[in-house]
Structure 1
């Protein structure tokens, strides 16, 4: 959920964020089910931008190792206070510095690719730190696809500290960036009512042996 850019924002809102219920439980559960169906019990998974740890705690018990990272100390404080199995761990790191345990079988990047300073650079690092055949799971809010009025409102909200810094990606530019990083997109869909929140599953080629 968070990266180094905007960390102060996420530290400030962490308690309110944690107390806020999931807006669309059915959509969230359906996304988790899709991710779970693609993972195996022997997978080592890295999650960047884990926020308060809800996804890690839902999916982590079914894999060999789940390393969840976030750049916000306050978000991690909340995540670490939750009961977690021994194979789920939390570490303080921004999205570009989270790969100490590489290579991974899968990387989860939920609501983070629009928050990092350079989406393409982050995707390149993810690709480089996945095993051949490894999976990228992402869900990204595409501000660039919103209507003109909503896009004009975002800088006002940001100036008032109500939203974090973010890149106005579109679905097309997001997809293009993932492909240019070396991935093959396997699935792109929307869960729930938010038409601008794109769920994408992409795979690194099994022929790609770069570390």
Structure 2
């Protein structure tokens, strides 16, 4: 029931989340420009953990097909409300996670996960699943808060306390070096690691990784069922 409880948390705060101001607008814009330059007009793109769709609405116009997904029905509802105000035939929103059977294996030229990997409960399995969703040579682009490289007070005291009273979702405490090692172990070749922060301390590495042609298929089942 882990995913069900995660979905309930995000459903509960979705409307408030949609009103929040981006803390580092400059860093966000830099990541958008960086990602946009990696995508082509014929690309089929999958975004995982799209939230209320802000990033999808900014990127979908430059690709052939853009499927933006999130486990929260409330987040997807808000994203669709935003979409109704624009004309973007390439964009669709769907309630799903990386493990959802509806996603086509080998069906995407790029998979995007912004502020996503630290929210999943089994990062290695999720990375292998992403690997399987990509075409040969496809790109995985992520931007992940690495709490293990931040102050221990946050990861060891504040975050567990907030989770205990229902004020925070599940979060993995990752370090950049460990995250890069997990991405490589899942059959990816890391092409770039950049820090796009324009204020404060970063610790949100933007990683571009290519599905290695030499990588073996995932040792885990090809199709996963949502918990």
Which band: TM-score by shorter chain? over 0.9
The residue that corresponds to 2:122 in the other structure is: 118
TM-score scaled by length of structure 2: 0.86
Deviation by residue 1:162-192 (Cα, 9 ceiling, x = unmatched) = 2111111111111010000010111111112
d(CA) in 2 for partners of 1:189, 1:5: 33
Matches within 5 A, 1:2-13: 6-13=6-13
Q: Which runs of 5+ in 2 are unaligned?
A: 223-227
Deviation by residue 1:33-54 (Cα, 9 ceiling, x = unmatched) = 0000011000000011110001
Provide the aligned C-alpha RMSD in A. Answer: 1.8
The residue that corresponds to 1:55 in the other structure is: 55
The residue that corresponds to 1:17 in the other structure is: 17
The residue that corresponds to 1:203 in the other structure is: 210
Deviation by residue 1:139-179 (Cα, 9 ceiling, x = unmatched) = 11111112222222210111122211111111111101000
Shift of 1:101: 3.1
The residue that corresponds to 1:93 in the other structure is: 96
Aligned counterpart in structure 2 of residue 167 of structure 1, from 162, 168, 172: 172
> Paired residues, what number?
209
4+ residue stretches of structure 1 with deviation over 3 A?
Answer: 206-211
Matches within 5 A, 1:44-193: 44-83=44-83, 84=86, 85-97=88-100, 100-102=103-105, 103-151=107-155, 152-192=157-197, 193=199
The residue that corresponds to 2:31 in the other structure is: 31
